[in-house]
Structure 1
Amino acid sequence: MRTRTVGGVLSGALAVAALTAPAAGAVDSTGVKDIVVNGGKPVVIGVSGTVSVPVTMKVTGSHRTYRADAQLYHGGWTDSDAWVNSNKACGEHAGGGYTCKLTFAFTARKTVKKNSQAGPWSVYAHASGNADAEKVLDNAFRVVRAAKLTANASPEPVKKGKAITVTGALTRANWETGKYAGFTNQAVKLQFRKKGSSTYTTVKTVKSSSTGALKTSATASADGYWRWSFAGTSTTSTATAAGDYVDVQ
């Protein structure tokens, strides 16, 4: 059984219910609710650097609270293989409830070391007041591997009505090797934005090759920008290439 500490207060594996029962005779006991990780967006981790992840949660109750904190973890509570404690817990607050704001640091190849750690993560939250409160949110948010896309359209310039070839590559972070590698057999959209417009339109969808390479042809009808766009997966982030401008003559 793995032993850990949450914010210097909690240790060991806990049999946590959604909310612990209040102390005998307590009125309007301390509670935690409305936990939001990273503004509801996936946490995207590449192969280097640290990502700061904000977490907010409401601490409730009419009594004074002395501490509130949380832990983010992957896997089950007693058999998790990755976890992060907050940089600083919320301190003493008067009764009436407040929003506790926490920050967690995810470091590539340190916080996440295995590709299998991409996907759903859970939250354990705790507040200490007239009665301790605990709350668990299973699969509360996702940690995903960063993806990258490149795009190149040629020839440049091209005669109107002629074909152009658009190439590129879809890669994603490998947390085990510390490098980006081709993401194979993924649906990627080829998009075009006409000069003077602010909107891209999908022209077709292409599958990435066994090396993550992308290649297709399209008809050049007007000056504009060509790019690739990837919607992401449950374990990999979205990605959009910079548009490559083609002059049509």
Structure 2
Amino acid sequence: MTLRHRLPAARRAVTVLAAAGTALASTLITAPGAHAADSDITFSDVVINKGKPIVLGTGARIEVPLTYTVKTKVRLDDWRVSVYRGTYGQNSYHLAMGTIQWDCSRSSAGGYTFYDCDESLEVDPDQLPGGRKLVNSDATVWKTVGLGIKVDGGYDDDLLSYTTRLKRASVIESPDASPEPVTKGSPITIKGTLKRANWNTHRYDLYGGQKVVLQFKAAGSAAYSYVKTVTTSSTGALRTTVTAAKDGTWRWYYGGNSVTGAKATTGDYVDVR
């Protein structure tokens, strides 16, 4: 049996809180006082963004897939898995503004009801719950908590072991291979500029001292291959020279790091004559 949420998706974040009343709503957002998890309600099989880091730029709102299972012996009015940072119950804040899509399938076994849920969380770097914005120190590991609202008005918060990592988006501007066309055996110069999101200032800054890979895909081929590794200058500039051998497409690929997302440019095709 498939369940769809009763209200429009944009309202789901406040719906969960409203179901518990004003005092509980404050607790679920700011977590001033956590309590022991109810053994009759458990959350499991949590996967955020298909197991990949969440990469955010500046100002662009994204949807992040989330799947999980709820196992319960009590009747629930609503439930959710929330992504947060800090110490839950003392000083924490949450990531998602709400749920864009929410579908759950229901089954029963051994006196328990199971809800297998498939959601899409709405994440905006400039608008976290409570009016906060992301800052660069938020590029780290975030934790999760399961929240269940019972039909009798009680609630349960279940601190989960699953974590997800946030990363600052990177971009490579002005990828350019020239001249075009070029004589076989002549040099081709390939340029670009690496930048990454600065959540403190909400703009993209030049990113120097980073290793970026130059890749090539020959005409008729389906895949890019490694050519060389180039380090960005202090101003994020990329520049290298290769010898023209055959028709094909050139691109830059940056693999990212623990706080920065990966990025591949669109390809620039060069005709070799």
Match of 2:141 in 1: 120
Match of 1:68 in 2: 79
Q: Which amino acid aligns with 1:37?
A: I
Tell me, what secondary structure is at the counterpart of 2:137? helix
**Deviation per residue, 1:52-71 (Å, 9 max, x gap):** 22322201135533321232
**Deviation per residue, 1:32-73 (Å, 9 max, x gap):** 111111222222221123112232220113553332123211
Alignment length (residue pairs):
236
Equivalent of 2:158 in 131, 135, 141: 135
Q: Which runs of 5+ in 1 are unaligned?
A: 23-28
Tell me, what secondary structure is at the counterpart of 2:50? helix
Taking the aligned partners of 2:188 and 2:219, their CA distance within structure 1 comes to 17
Taking the aligned partners of 1:15 and 1:90, their CA distance within structure 2 comes to 27
Alignment of 1:82-231 (within 5 A): 83-84=95-96, 86-87=98-99, 95-111=112-128, 112-128=133-149, 133-137=156-160, 140-150=163-173, 151-231=175-255
Taking the aligned partners of 1:198 and 1:90, their CA distance within structure 2 comes to 37
Tell me, what secondary structure is at the counterpart of 1:7? helix
Taking the aligned partners of 1:171 and 1:38, their CA distance within structure 2 comes to 24
Deviation at 1:153, TM superposition (A): 0.9
C-alpha contact (below 8 Å) 2:168/2:260 kept by paired residues? yes
C-alpha contact (below 8 Å) 1:191/1:226 kept by paired residues? yes
**Deviation per residue, 1:123-147 (Å, 9 max, x gap):** 1112245996543235611222111
Match of 2:91 in 1: 79
Match of 2:52 in 1: 41
The structure that is helix-richer by fraction is 2
Q: Which amino acid aligns with 1:43?
A: I
TM-score under structure 2 length normalisation:
0.76
Taking the aligned partners of 1:41 and 1:237, their CA distance within structure 2 comes to 10
Taking the aligned partners of 1:225 and 1:217, their CA distance within structure 2 comes to 14
Match of 2:9 in 1: none
Q: Which amino acid aligns with 1:65?
A: L
C-alpha contact (below 8 Å) 2:63/2:120 kept by paired residues? yes
Deviation at 1:16, TM superposition (A): 5.2
Tell me, what secondary structure is at the counterpart of 1:66? strand
Match of 1:13 in 2: 32
**Deviation per residue, 1:91-150 (Å, 9 max, x gap):** 9x7753111344432113223431111121111112245996543235611222111113
CA spacing shift, 1:16–1:231, aligned 2, 3 Å:
farther
Taking the aligned partners of 1:120 and 1:143, their CA distance within structure 2 comes to 6
Percent identity over the alignment is 35
CA RMSD of aligned residues (A): 2.8
Q: Does 1:30 align with 2:57?
A: no
Deviation at 1:185, TM superposition (A): 1.0
